[in-house]
Structure 1
Amino acid sequence: MAGSTKGVLLRFAPMIYGPTVLFAIGEGAVVPLIPILAARLGGDLAVAGLVASALVVGQLCGNLPAGWLVARFGERLTMAGAGGLALLGVLGLILAPSLGLLAAAVFVIGLCAAAFGLARHAFMTTRVPLSFRARALALLGGSFRFGMFIGPFLAALLLSLTGTEASAAWLFAACLVACVLLVLLGPDPERSLEAEASAPAGSSRDARQTSPVADTGEAVTGGIRLPAAQRSEGVFRTMARHRRVLSRLGLTAASLAAVRSARQVVLPLWGLSLGLEAHTISLVVGIAGAIDFALFYASGQVMDRFGRLWASLPAMLLIGAGFLFLAFTHELPDASMWFAMLAAVIGVGNGLSSGILLTLGADLAPRHDPAPFLSSWRTLTDAGGAAAPVLFSAIAAISTLAVATGAMGAIALLGALGFWRWVPRFIGRSGPASG
């Protein structure tokens, strides 16, 4: 099994994992510089923050149309098209003469990030054998995290060499060109999987499980002619048909996205409130991020071997406990030590949650046409991630930082209850049936 798992995952590297790393490197390189570019065009701090938020707004707005695009044209063309359109957005970052055009360029990049992400998610949902789906999707999440981690460092290196913010945007452009070329010209994993899917009896069951319909090498959602009962229903009909699971497990997943996003705001602000130096805060957050990154594949192993609940529930409990305990440590004599320890605990929880949202979405999506469902699923989770920093800031403004931090912990614990209640009902404690 290990050999087949490694072999199939390696086949996905040229079309999925490699392009994901490249896209994330470029995005990670430009995201910290967007407020700087806005300030260069005359925007104050509030306007610069608004321009930067256009990326998240674009991702939210892009998920639903991306579901239609994948269902209509297939994953490969959608990924390539998203990469090409994002290239125009990057050129807009470089050449924009006004704040309005800069915001529009950032919005376009957000749209393309949503389309690219949904297409690769749908591709993996329909191609990866169920027995190691969670590991494959955890590796996908880890690829994105790796790119976002090293992107800012590459941008900093280019800035030191060139002295201009445009160099980071040109890095993104180069990554996008390489990404599109890999998607269009790289080895097609479907070709080899097609041969395995039609292998005679006695060959790997996992390989034959890869596709429930005849695989022609074209995109499942766009190229295989399915029976009428299995044709795409469209995004909104799919959303209505699956409203029960989306309103229950979907909102629970959104709570996980919310607390994961909140930690990126909570930890730096908590360090500032303790009077720590910037380099100390960066060190603590960096160590927590390293722990997070180190555990991404372990999360997939836990989900594949023991079930989805055994990763999602501990992750939410650790994140929730970390935030709640942190809320009571501000006035303690060793507040800085508690900050570092609890940041590490939150990092462990976040690492264990790697790939959970991707895997749960893949488990719940209709096998023959996952893209419309995944567009709704990703819209919910992205909305949770976008709302959390706003909610945290609002609570902190009307009360205290400790109360706001505790509120994030409460959301995590409510999410843990949601996973405990709904994962066994909609998926099963040991994951979806593999028969």
Structure 2
Amino acid sequence: MTPPDSPPPFSLRSIAVPAFGPALLFNIGEGAILPVVALSARELGASVAVAALIVTLIGLGSWFFNLPASLITLKFGERWSIVGAAAAGALALLAAGLSLMIPDGLWLLAVAMGVVGMSASVFSLARQKYLTEAVPVEFRARALSTLGGVNRIGIFIGPFVGAAVMHFAGISGAYWVGVAGMAAAAALAVTIPDLVVAPSSSSAGPEPTLRGVAVSHAGVFLTAGAGILLLSALRASRQVVIPLWADHVGLDATQASLLYGLSGAIDMLVFYPAGKVMDRRGRLWVAIPSTLIMGTALMLIPLTAGFTGLLLVALLIGFGNGISSGLVMTLGADFSPDRGRGQFLGLWRFIADAGSTGGPVLLSAVTAVSSLAAGVTATGVLGFAAAGVFAVVLPKLRHRRNY
């Protein structure tokens, strides 16, 4: 029998609003503007190549700001870092919306997209650190898988909300949705108090430096980090492969969008069960199947020649990606030290974002040298490589986990 003065059992539902509400709103805001950034750049006179570069600035801003983001989170704490990042993102999207109304607005749009990426980096790192410290370890994978799933739901909903507003306000309407979403995320994070986190028994002494954390955890970064790099490259490549192969086999834009949307829908349905499996059976039970499923599905794509075959493969990719929701964050939380956690997570996210940037580059390079089928097959090989790394490394690093 539970003593009357003991705390109630932990429930993810009890922290749903403070833990996941700001993330949902932030990603609705980001999702609203993603389909229109390239179109906005073209409207401002950019070439196709420059428009693509401006879209890329969001990812580059996030990638290169991961390390400064860890220092910002350390200085201001998780709650105020989340508030500040969402507010900065809202201001950047306000500037992006105004760029369409001023002469030479292309430069303002480019700077705004870079700031959006930086804001997303701080927001995501602070939210991950917050959950890592606030949620009991036996619920960690479920919490972080849910965070990953909420992020995807927001990105999925955002374009529909943006499209509805654009019907009345034109292309700038998407940016106003983005401003509203990120400002609401900041407001929600302000009004909800921090969760109470018990102080660590090892909290005495100076805070570790980024370099010190990198050196002391080099073995983890070079081994488990390699698996994360490959997984992130695999995930990013799949987003490019489906529309490219749809065009290759003669499908129109509507069919390609439907394939992409259905794959994303499957993705969003399975994140919580996958987190439950990771909590109860271990991380390997998701890490290996998810990478093998995505790798196999990508290697099957060159065998498809029409809508039905590509749909089946896209659904398989969505399932594989969906069950890996939160895996990168969960492994980062598992290996992060109590002291220097923010610095560790900044380095961990830097590695993951490097993979996200490199995956499409690999696809492009192999396609340029050989063919699209060869490029798609090469990205599928990444899945088998990631599974191999996880199978060997995760059991060997069991002693480096923080539980």
1:244-295 deviation per Cα after TM superposition (whole angstroms, max 9, x unaligned): 1101111211111111111110011111111112222222222211111101
CA displacement at 1:425 relative to structure 2: 1.3
- Partner AA of 1:285 in structure 2: Y
The residue aligned with 2:190 is 184
SS at match of 2:36: helix
1:147 to 145, 154, 168: 154
**Which of 192, 196, 200 pairs up with 1:213?**
200
The residue that corresponds to 1:425 in the other structure is: 396
1:39-78, Cα deviation, whole Å (9 max, x unpaired):
1211011110011111011001110001111112211111
Q: Deviations over 1:156-194 (max 9, x none)?
A: 1111122x221111111111221111111114332xxx6
- From 286, 304, 316, the counterpart of 2:279: 304
Task: Indicate if the aligned counterparts of 2:266 and 2:315 stay in contact, CA closer than 8 A.
Answer: yes
Identity %: 37
Report the Cα distance in structure 2 between the residues aligned to 1:340 and 1:357, rounded to whole angstroms.
27
Q: CA deviation at 1:10?
A: 2.8
Among 358, 363, 372, which residue is 1:387 paired with? 358
Distance 2:66 2:398 in 1: 23
SS where residue 46 of structure 2 aligns?
A: coil
Cα shift at 1:226: 2.8
* Residue type at the aligned position of 2:181: C
Where do 4+ consecutive residues of structure 1 move more than 6 Å? Answer: none
Which residue is 1:208 aligned to? none
Residues 145 and 274 of structure 2 are in contact (CA less than 8 Å); yes or no, is this contact kept in structure 1?
Answer: yes
Alignment equivalent of 1:227, drawn from 186, 194, 204: 204
Is the CA contact 1:70–1:119 (under 8 Å) kept in the aligned structure 2? yes
Aligned counterpart, 1:262: 237
2:78 to 72, 75, 79: 75
User: CA shift at 1:307, angstroms?
Assistant: 0.2
8 A contact 2:336–2:401 mirrored in 1 = no
Q: 1:427 & 1:42 partners in 2: Cα distance?
A: 54
* SS of equivalent to 1:226: coil
RMSD over aligned Cα, in angstroms?
Answer: 2.0
Q: Secondary structure at the match of 1:305?
A: helix
| Equivalent position to 2:25, from 16, 22, 45 | 22
Q: Give 1:165's match in structure 2, choosing from 162, 171, 182.
A: 171
**SS of the residue aligned with 2:65?**
helix
Return the alpha-carbon distance in structure 1 between the equivalents of residues 57 and 162 of structure 2: 21
SS at match of 2:314: helix
Matched, 1:126 2:97: no
Structure 1 stretches lacking a partner, 5+ long = 195-210, 215-224
| Rounded Cα–Cα distance in structure 2 between residues aligned with 1:280 and 1:105 | 32
Confirm or deny: 8 A CA contact 1:71 1:232 kept in the other structure.
Answer: no
**How many Å apart are 1:433 and its aligned residue?**
7.0
Match of 2:325 among 351, 354, 374: 354
Shift of 1:212: 5.2
> 2 CA distance for matches of 1:235 and 1:82?
21
Q: Distance in 1 between matches of 2:293 and 2:252?
A: 27
1:299 counterpart letter in structure 2: A
Aligned equivalent of 1:221: none
Q: Is the 8 A contact 1:68 1:234 kept in 2?
A: no
How far apart in 2 are the matches of 1:81 and 1:11?
24
Q: For residues 45-64 of structure 1, what are the structure 2 equivalents within 5 Å? A: 45-64=48-67
**1:174 lines up with 2:145 in the alignment:** no
**Residue 226 of structure 1 aligns to which amino acid in structure 2?**
S
Q: Given the alignment of the two structures, is residue 273 of structure 1 paired with residue 248 of structure 2, yes or no?
A: yes
Counterpart contact for 1:258–1:386, Cα < 8 Å: yes
* CA shift digits 1:77-134 (9 cap, x unpaired): 1111111221221122022343222111100110010000000011111111011100
Supply the distance in 2 between the matched residues of 1:423 and 1:72 (Cα, whole angstroms).
Answer: 32
CA distance in 1: counterparts of 2:109 and 2:144, whole angstroms: 33
Q: Which deviates more, 334-343 or 126-135?
A: 334-343
TM-score by length of 1: 0.87
Give the aligned residue type for 2:91: L
Report if the CA contact (8 A) 1:21-1:143 is conserved.
yes
Rounded to whole Å, the distance in 1 between the matches of 2:35 and 2:211 is 35
